[in-house]
Amino acid sequence: MREEARREGVWQFLTYTFVLVMTFLTIVPLYWIVVASTLPEQAFLSAGSAPRLIPGGYFAENFAALQQRLSVGFLFFDELLNTDFGFVGGVFNSVFIAVAYTLLSLVVCSRAGFAFAKYEFRYKEPIFYSILATLILPIQLLVIPLFLLMSQLGLTNSYWAIILPWLANPLGIFLMRQNMKSIPDALLESARMDGATEFQLYYRIALPTMKSSLAALAIVLFLFQWILFLFPLVILETDKYTIPVAIDQLVGAQRVYYDQIMVAATLSIVPIFFLFLFLQKQFVSGILAGSVKE
Amino acid sequence: MALHQQSPSQERLFNTTFVLLIQVPLMIVTALLLAVALDASFVRFKGLFRTALALPVSANLVAYSTVFLLLVQETGLINYALTALGFGPVPWLTSEFWSRMTLVGAVTWRWTGYNMIILLAGLQNIPQQLYEAAEIDGANRFDKFRYVTVPQLRPVLLFTVVTSTIGMFKLFAEPAIINSGGAPLSSTITIVQYIYQTAFIDFQLGYASALTYVLIGVVSVLSIVQIRVGGSDDA
């Protein structure tokens, strides 16, 4: 038994080492962005000297400069207060758009994924592969047709313009299809026997048992919208700029405002940190356990 | 008609494929190991580790590229650390081979945690009974990983492999950053960048469209092969 305990100890040590090393490698560049946001520009850009790794005291100055340089509104407060929120307006816009998009797209992707995973219908395979094929289209090629479509719908410079085109997100549909394959057919069949409607199968069985996967889907969708750049840049005006578009305004032809970019980038990581912390808590195993007696 | 004669497009496709063949397996294996590690019951502060590892995707591209270039430049932090450890400075941006490795590193850094999160969620759907049954049959840790985790995770693994492969073909920002740092111009240019250049800078829209069709063909075939091979009957 002691041999086994020793082995277990070694195993745990190796696991921790691996996780800590990988986390360290992941965090260093991010940490550096945060440190850079607290330094005057020259302090972290100067080449040759040893890199500064200790935060300085310039965050407030950099933040004030950033707020002054950018003027981004936020639709809902704007109509009431008519205020300029500086860069923070961009954070409001990004959060609002990403939350609305994620909630709506969760419904569409989970419905579609459920259908592709658990139903048989005509042309199922070709339809699925066509959806998958759209993944390869780079955004650079889609910008012009999408712009024309959105302007014909009268949706330029609206939040809808960057929510609607990706509501049926091929990435999300594919992810849900792959995950929902693990719902046992027998479970759905027995629910049908008990008189559940097809919608109830989705709503009362598929969704609750797929809680972990839905949390992962929420992360995928939220991030997708959070880092979207080219299309928002084309279709939105200053009053609705999202974070990536707002930050891009700091890259001027004459001068790049690195210190302010670092502050903006730091601020854009904060909401994601708390969101991930919350969503990964939804990863619970064993919901499907014992659902079917074999 | 220019399509079959021109070598730049072939070179770009080669760049993409070369980087892809190293990057995708490296990233998926790392992500899978991390997911399994962060699913183990004895690990503490799981939430913090998971969150920290997945954060890079959300990092703004301008900030990330600035920091990244500072890290890999001749006198940057990475070479600083390497020299301290007794290895010579590595030409991360200026050598053809190392600039490709820099590209592999940059993409792996950004997307490993993201794939880990997806795999971690997939792990939760594996019925616990399978592990218990395997234990009764005398399976050790590696047996359980090999004969329960991997086969059960197959559909989700397939998702990460297919989307990562497609992602590599579409790679745009990272090579642009590395090129701006002075890489030998063509060693890291990917196919989509080349299409973009052809279409919107050289205004050869027809040729760019033709290239896009070739790209869609290549990627579709690759995806279908991956799904057929990796999915067997049920994925």
Mean pLDDT over all residues of chain B?
82
pLDDT at position A1: 63
What angle (nearest 5°) sits at the alpha carbon of residue B48, between those of residues B165 and B69?
55
- Report whether pLDDT(A207) > 80: yes
Residue in the structure block whose two tokens are 């559940």: A196
Question: What's the whole-number mean pLDDT along residues A76-90?
Answer: 71
pLDDT at B232: 54
Inform me whether the pLDDT recorded for A153 exceeds 90: yes
Look at residues A167, A147, A145, A165 and name the one whose alpha carbon lies nearest to residue A156: A147
Mean predicted confidence (pLDDT) in B178-203: 70
Is the pLDDT at A80 greater than 70, yes or no? no
Question: Which residue, chain included where needed, has tokens 């086969």?
Answer: B151
Among B124, B209, B219, B226, the residue to mutate for chain A (most A Cβ within 10 A) = B124
Task: Please state, for a pLDDT cut of 70, what percent of chain B lies above it.
Answer: 89
CATH code at position B98? 1.10.3720.10
Q: Is A42 a domain residue? A: no
The beta-carbon neighbor of A288 closest among B39, B125, B192 is B125
Range with lowest mean pLDDT among A51-55, B116-120, B202-206: A51-55
- B68:A283 CB<8 A: no
Residue B171 φ then ψ, to 5°: -50, 130
CB atoms within 10 A of CB B146: 12
Q: Calculate mean pLDDT across residues A136-149.
A: 82
In angstroms, rounded to a whole number, what is the distance separating the alpha carbons of residues A286 and A158? 42
Task: Please give the structure tokens belonging to residue B10.
Answer: 């072939």
Is the CB of B37 less than 8 angstroms away from the CB of A15? yes
For residue B127, the chain A residues in CB contact (below 8 A) are: 286, 288-289
- Mean pLDDT, rounded, for A201-217: 92
pLDDT at residue B197 greater than cutoff 60: yes
What are the residues facing A220 on neighbouring strands? none
B63 and A264 Cβ atoms separated by less than 8 Å:
yes
Nearest C-alpha neighbor of A249 from the set A139, A43, A60, A89: A89
What mean pLDDT value characterizes chain A? 86
Residues on chain A touching B224 (C-beta within 8 angstroms) = 129
pLDDT digits over A168-190, tens only? 999 999 999 999 988 989 999 99
CB contact under 8 A, B55 and A276: yes
8 Å CB contact of B34 and A265: no
- Contact flag B155-A133 (C-beta cutoff 8 Å): no
Q: How many domains would you assign to chain B?
A: 1
Q: What is the pLDDT of residue A18?
A: 95
ipTM: 0.90
Confidence band, pLDDT 50/70/90 cuts, at residue A290? low
Does the residue A22 lie in any domain?
no
Q: Look at residue B7 and tell me whether its pLDDT is greater than 70.
A: no
* Phi then psi dihedrals of residue A256, to 5 deg: -105, 125
Chain B from 128 to 157: CB within 8 A of any A CB: 128-129, 141, 152, 155-156
Q: Chain-centre distance of CA B60, in angstroms?
A: 18
The Cα–Cα gap between A212 and A286 comes to 10
The structure tokens listed for B82 are 């390497």
Identity of the highest mean pLDDT range in A73-87, B37-51, B86-100? B37-51
Domain of residue A81 covers 71-242+271-280
Give the domain extent around B57: 2-231
* H or E stretch covering B8: helix B7-37
Q: Is residue A87 part of a domain?
A: yes
CB B199 within 8 A of CB B215: no
B66 touches chain A (CB under 8 A): yes
Q: How many Cβ atoms sit within 10 Å of the Cβ of residue B57?
A: 21
CB contact under 8 A, B42 and A26: no
For residue A41, give the 3-state DSSP assignment.
helix
Whether residue A179 and residue B219 make contact (CB cut-off 8 A), yes or no, is no
- Residue of A86, A79, A176, A183 lying closest to A132 (CA atoms): A176
Q: Which of A183, A187, A146, A165 is nearest to A108 (CA)?
A: A165
Residue A57 has pLDDT above 90, yes or no: no
**Identity of the residue in B42, B64, B215 whose CB atom sits nearest the CB atom of A12:** B42
In the prediction, which pLDDT does A81 show? 60
Number of neighbours of residue A198 by Cβ within 10 angstroms:
14
Provide the number of CB pairs (under 8 Å) joining chain A to chain B: 216
For residue B225, pLDDT beyond 60: yes
Is the Cβ–Cβ distance between B18 and B175 less than 8 Å? no
Q: How confident is the model at residue B235, as a pLDDT?
A: 46
Q: B194: which chain A residues are within 8 Å (Cβ-Cβ)? A: none
Q: How far apart are CA B127 and CA A86, in angstroms?
A: 50
Does residue A6 lie in a domain region? no
| d(C-alpha B50, C-alpha B117), whole Å | 7
Q: Which two tokens stand for residue B164?
A: 């990562």
pLDDT of A224: 93
The DSSP secondary structure of A149-203, one letter per residue, reads HHHHTT-TTSTHHHHGGGSS-HHHHHHHHHHHTTS-HHHHHHHHHTT--HHHIII
Two tokens at B219?
């990627």
Task: Give mean pLDDT, residues A119-137.
Answer: 87
> For residue A132, which amino acid is it?
L
Closest listed residue to residue A268, CA positions, set A30, A71, A45: A30
Does the distance separating the beta carbons of A48 and B75 come in below 8 Å? yes
Q: Could you say which of A22, A261, A284 has the minimum Cβ distance to residue B34?
A: A22
CB contact at 8 A, A167 and A155:
no
Q: The domain that contains A88 carries what CATH number?
A: 1.10.3720.10
Contact B128, A286 (CB under 8 A): yes
A25, B71 contact by CB (below 8 A): no
Q: Helix, strand, or coil here: A251?
A: strand
Express each pLDDT in A260-278 by its tens digit: 888 999 999 999 999 999 9
Phi first, then psi: what are they for A251, rounded to 5°?
A: -95, 95
Which of the four pLDDT bands, split at 50, 70 and 90, describes residue A164?
A: very high
Q: Considering only CB atoms, which chain B residues are within 8 Å of A137?
A: 216
- pLDDT bucket at B1, cuts 50 / 70 / 90: very low
Total number of domains in chain A = 1
Instruction: Calculate what percentage of chain B has a pLDDT beyond 90.
Output: 26
Contact partners, residue A41, CB within 8 Å, separation at least 6 = A257, A258, A259
Q: Inform me whether the C-beta atom of residue B125 falls under 8 Å from chain A C-beta atoms.
A: yes
Whether the per-residue pLDDT at A71 is higher than 60: the answer is yes
Count other C-beta atoms under 10 Å from residue B118's C-beta: 25
Q: What is the pLDDT of residue B53?
A: 94
Q: Give the closest-approach CA distance of A160 to chain B in angstroms.
A: 22
Round to whole Å and give the CA distance between A255 and A69. 13
Is the pLDDT confidence value at A49 over 60? no
